[in-house]
Structure 1
Amino acid sequence: MDGSFRPNQFPIKKGFPFSFFKIGNQSKFSFLLRKGFTFIFVPSFLLMSVSNTVFAKERKRPTILVVMSAADTVLLDGNKNHPTGVFLGELYEPILKLKKEGLDFVFATPGGKIATIDPESLKDKYWESIEVKKEALEFISNSASFQNPLPLEQAIIEHQNYVGLLIPGGQGLMTDLLYDGNVPKLLRIFHQNQRPIGLVCHAPALLTTLNQNSNVGEFIFKGYKVNSVTKIEEWFIETFVMKGSPKVRKISTLLEQLGMEYESSFLPGRSYAIRDRNLVTSQNPFSGFEFSELYRNTILEYLKKNSF
């Protein structure tokens, strides 16, 4: 059953007190209740309101929480701001894959501020095709949730509504999410429930926020395999793209210092992503297909295990 309510699909039994009927596409009533010689017509909108309530849970689709940076600049060399934001391809590629599986998405940012797209991410070299880039731009323009994101505090309150956490990359997160106390709370909540966590490119740096409080005990991802932007790729970006260095860099080293097993491609700028249990991480904008496949599979396994 697909969850849609079709009154005329039910068989009519002899002696049953009411019968369903349909008169072409012009029917204005859904059923007729017979009592003696009295006929009572019930408008179809009343029946539909009942059916919507009955089948609401069946129609509700699993939803991914997408946490994004709301920053539009990153401080370089301690004295200059460089335009940045969310890397569009790193956001849209996994969403495109999950949309085909029937999942929904709710977006959240610090303060509920609408995210800025990193202008660098709009360059054609980061895209499989111009058509996909147009689709991505149309998606964020038409998504009510993207245009009106939740504050992170609200996302924490509603965390049970979401089957997975996805955080796309872009240097913007090095400005705000890296210093937002709600980020480690979300990571802990999703990890405690073994819900999938997907971190793209620079986003694995957010795992370091879990170790900022010495009273929280052992690092919860200790021993996990992880990937992120490499030191060589960071150097390339800082030298040829941004022409300056952010405050926090060498993400791979920071993750290793926390006890994680860092892995990457042999050459920079190549596709690489890795999954270890509920954690999926990737290296750069060219890793979209590989990351999206791993993250989708992790989500589908979680849904199957939890009977969604």
Structure 2
Amino acid sequence: MHTIKLFIIVLLFTTGFIHASWANDKVLFILSADKHGYYLPEVVAPFEHIKKHGFDIEFASPGGSEGFPAALNRLSEQEKAIYQGMLSTTNIKTPKPLVDVRADDYVAFYVPGGSGPMFDLAQHAELKRLSLSFLAQNKIISAVCHGPAAFVDIKNEQGKYLVEGLKMTAKSNAEEGSWPRENYPFLLEDKFKAQGAYFSFAAPDEPYVVFDQGILTGQNPKSALPVAKRLIELLLDK
């Protein structure tokens, strides 16, 4: 009987310790600060899913700008309530400048899409530093839709493109309309293929997620929650 009681006490203590340890781990959300904005539905749903699994979430952006949240009208009533809570309980209005972010402080980062990342997160020096630093520490870097623009043109110490030889996805050419084709500096599918990635995708507007060697990517807005779910699976499996 004493042995059984001791086993139960140890089990409860161990379980409590595991949950407590995750409660102190943080996931970084990196937002675009560009005038074209970041896509709010790709922020709120992943935020809620990651948060409910016990992870703290902090926000960062180039220069610490709050940026331009887009598509508030695309949120459900429940998501709008979550977003209102985020405004008062997180630093989404006052993100940390990327220059002040250290990989040591987080277990993963996530980049939502919107048109903004195509203009300010692509080729961003601090984001390049963070991407390489996170991966060097065996931490996950993730992005969805146009968020993977954060991973273009990054080269490692050997001068090799970060995505070369890796499976990747992002907004496909088939999903881009006339405005992006005329105004974006590049299309993600074209860029990743040119840099040696094995770029794959599903039918337009279908959720699709790819993970390869620490880099987790999702194709489109419908892939945002699946990316968050996969991220949690990967983190809990570590």
Which of 77, 91, 95 is the equivalent residue of 1:130?
77
Structure 2 distance, partners of 1:233, 1:136, is 28
Q: Which residue of 2 aligns with 1:64?
A: 27
Q: Is 1:110 aligned with 2:57?
A: no
Structure 1 distance, partners of 2:122, 2:40, is 19
How do 1:123-272 and structure 2 match up within 5 A? 123-124=73-74, 127=75, 129-132=76-79, 134-155=80-101, 158-211=102-155, 217-235=159-177, 238-239=178-179, 245-265=182-202, 267-272=203-208
The offset of 1:221, in angstroms, is 3.2
Cα gap change, 1:103/1:262 in structure 2, threshold over 3 Å: closer, same or farther? same
The offset of 1:231, in angstroms, is 0.3
Residue identity matched to 1:100: K
The offset of 1:292, in angstroms, is 1.9
Q: Which residue of 2 aligns with 1:298?
A: 234
SS of the equivalent of 2:231 reads helix
Structure 1 distance, partners of 2:182, 2:138, is 35
- Unaligned regions of 5+ residues in structure 2, if any? 1-19
The offset of 1:202, in angstroms, is 0.6
Cα gap change, 1:59/1:195 in structure 2, threshold over 3 Å: closer, same or farther? closer
Residue identity matched to 2:191: L
1:205, 1:255 within 8 Å by CA — same for their partners in 2? Answer: no
1:225, 1:262 within 8 Å by CA — same for their partners in 2? Answer: yes
Structure 2 distance, partners of 1:182, 1:216, is 19
Structure 1 distance, partners of 2:91, 2:237, is 26
Which of 289, 298, 301 is the equivalent residue of 2:225?
289
Structure 2 distance, partners of 1:264, 1:276, is 14
The offset of 1:58, in angstroms, is 5.9
Write the deviation string for residues 103-122 of structure 1: whole angstroms up to 9, x where unpaired: 0011111111112101xx22
The offset of 1:272, in angstroms, is 1.2
The offset of 1:281, in angstroms, is 0.5
The offset of 1:131, in angstroms, is 1.6
2:62, 2:97 within 8 Å by CA — same for their partners in 1? Answer: yes
Paired residue total: 219
Structure 2 distance, partners of 1:105, 1:152, is 15
Structure 2 distance, partners of 1:140, 1:209, is 32
Higher relative contact order (CA 8 A, sep 6+): 2
The offset of 1:59, in angstroms, is 8.8
Structure 1 distance, partners of 2:183, 2:232, is 32
Identical aligned residues as a percent: 25
2:22, 2:54 within 8 Å by CA — same for their partners in 1? Answer: no
2:111, 2:144 within 8 Å by CA — same for their partners in 1? Answer: yes
- Unaligned regions of 5+ residues in structure 1, if any? 1-56, 73-83, 303-308
Residue identity matched to 2:69: I
Structure 2 distance, partners of 1:271, 1:60, is 29
Q: TM-score, normalised by structure 1?
A: 0.66
Provide the aligned C-alpha RMSD in A: 2.2
Structure 1 distance, partners of 2:21, 2:91, is 22
Q: Answer 1 or 2: which has greater helix percent.
A: 2
The offset of 1:169, in angstroms, is 0.6
Structure 2 distance, partners of 1:301, 1:221, is 24
Residue identity matched to 2:77: I
1:106, 1:146 within 8 Å by CA — same for their partners in 2? Answer: yes
Structure 2 distance, partners of 1:140, 1:249, is 33
